[in-house]
Chain A
Amino acid sequence: MSNHDWSRAMRAIWLLNTIEVELSHLGIPVLRVPPTLRDLGDVFAQGTMSEQDRQLIEDELTRAHAILAQVVGELQEGMTQIESLLQKQPMTLITEDVAESTRSVVWQKL
């Protein structure tokens, strides 16, 4: 392979490596999500909070859900493309960059 092609290949590999490293760091807080949300469920179930407080928390959960859903969607697209490469199948997905306006907040700051 030429130097140029190796550079292109390594650009993809280092990108995936960066994601792996970042996800491994993120993994520890992610593990805490289910039990922490179960705790929050208990607070909801007690029914001691005002409607206003409940609405504040629900707004935060809605926002978090939207951001996570978008990130998961973008990662899912990357996984599908990796699978295509491994199976040596022709790319069937649109390979254009995700438009700035539709990127998750996580990517927008980049």
Chain B
Amino acid sequence: MAEIMTAREAVERYIKTGTQVCWGGFSYTRRPFTITREVIRQRDRIQHHFCTMNGGASVEEALAANDLVSRMETTYVGLEGIQPVAYSIRRRIQDGSIPLFEDYSNYGYAARTIAGRFGWPFAPMMAELGSDIPEYDTFGKAGLRGKNADGSWIDPRIPPKKFAVIDDPFDGWGLRPHAFDGGDTTANKTNAIDRTRESDKYTGNKGVKVLLVPPVLPEVTVIRAQRVAIDGTVRMEGILGPDAEQAMCAKVLIVECEQIVPSDELRATPELNHLPAHITTAIVEQPFGGYPSAVPNYYDYDWDWFVSYGRLNRKSKEEVKEWWTKHVVDTKDDWDYLQRIVGMNRLFELRATPGYGYRADLKRPM
């Protein structure tokens, strides 16, 4: 049964030093910033954690800027679309304070969450083949994969291999446009299926190859939703990303939300719900808590925040961390941050225009 609690209680209870946390949301949308900010407030206790997520990544950047990341397993990183370089992460990889960084494609990561959701031992895909991503294995080089002499896992959170490549047992049949006459589709041309048939790379055999990815199985997943029923049923609106999947992969699921509602409200249209009640461990209600990201049908992202943070992000590690100290660590909780630092006026300016789901007249200069 899901338990309603404050952000402080949820972070104190479930996020310790080194905990593997999978952070939800996608790009500017539904980022779980209430819990992110609370982790930053508790940074002296937590010290560092194992950050797993489908990148973006304003949350990752915020956590890295506070020296809270010791391991990272992710995809594209940047300050969402506005700044395609994740300066806080990059600086710490360069100076060794994030020693372990593992990279997947966005599609590869999504496939991993699908495997985790359905309890599959792995998911088949082709996306990484032909790229150099399979050549890099930071966790493997660090000796974190596989088993100890006594048969126990070296680190049970890390799969024994980053990828495995096999010969397609169906010889590419599933990729062919059987239903159509007239040759290959664009997708098959992109996959260069004929060339892969001629290659013996990866397995030593000629023929179509399939890349297998292990599931994502985090200790904690944190997502943000618009509505959560009092029993823990979760409904998200707008783009989902891999949130439903990665929520079901986790041992502990923390859902922060705009509003907690009676169960009947979500039961009336169960086909619109994404997660059943028994999946949710903790519910944290914090209106506007997704700020500065967007929560569709509630409020838009704060473009000005991203622009100004993008400028700040180019400064030194110390200056960026000091900014977080002043703006977040020194606040009591998220209401204190939202009222005193952001201001309710600004939050109401971002309220979504009904019928659109976003703020129709928000200036977004690129």
Mark A residues whose CB is within 8 Å of B.
24-25, 27-29, 32, 52-53, 56, 59-60, 67, 105-106, 108-109
Measured CB to CB, the closest approach of chain B to A101, in angstroms, equals 14
Contacts of B308 in A (CB 8 A): none
Selected from B261, B351, B355, the residue in CB contact (under 8 A) with A108 is B355
Measured CB to CB, the closest approach of chain B to A94, in angstroms, equals 25
Interface residues of B in 82-124 (CB under 8 A from A): none
Interface of A is mostly: helix
A67–B351 Cα gap in the complex (Å)? Answer: 16
A67–B261 Cα gap in the complex (Å)? Answer: 22
A102–B264 Cα gap in the complex (Å)? Answer: 34
A105–B269 Cα gap in the complex (Å)? Answer: 22
Contacts of B142 in A (CB 8 A): none
Contacts of B345 in A (CB 8 A): 52, 56
Known A25-B268, A105-B354, A106-B355; 4 more pairs at CB < 8 Å: A28-B262, A28-B265, A29-B265, A59-B348
Mark B residues whose CB is within 8 Å of A.
261-262, 264-265, 268-269, 344-345, 348, 351, 354-356
Is the Cβ of A56 less than 8 Å from the Cβ of B268?
no
Contacts of A28 in B (CB 8 A): 262, 264-265, 268
Contacts of A109 in B (CB 8 A): 355-356
What are 23 pairs between A and B in contact, CB < 8 Å?
Answer: A25-B268, A25-B269, A28-B262, A28-B265, A28-B268, A29-B261, A29-B265, A32-B262, A32-B265, A52-B344, A52-B345, A53-B344, A56-B344, A56-B345, A56-B348, A60-B348, A67-B354, A105-B355, A106-B354, A106-B355, A108-B355, A109-B355, A109-B356
Contacts of B351 in A (CB 8 A): 60
Contacts of B355 in A (CB 8 A): 105-106, 108-109
Measured CB to CB, the closest approach of chain A to B12, in angstroms, equals 29
A63–B74 Cα gap in the complex (Å)? Answer: 42
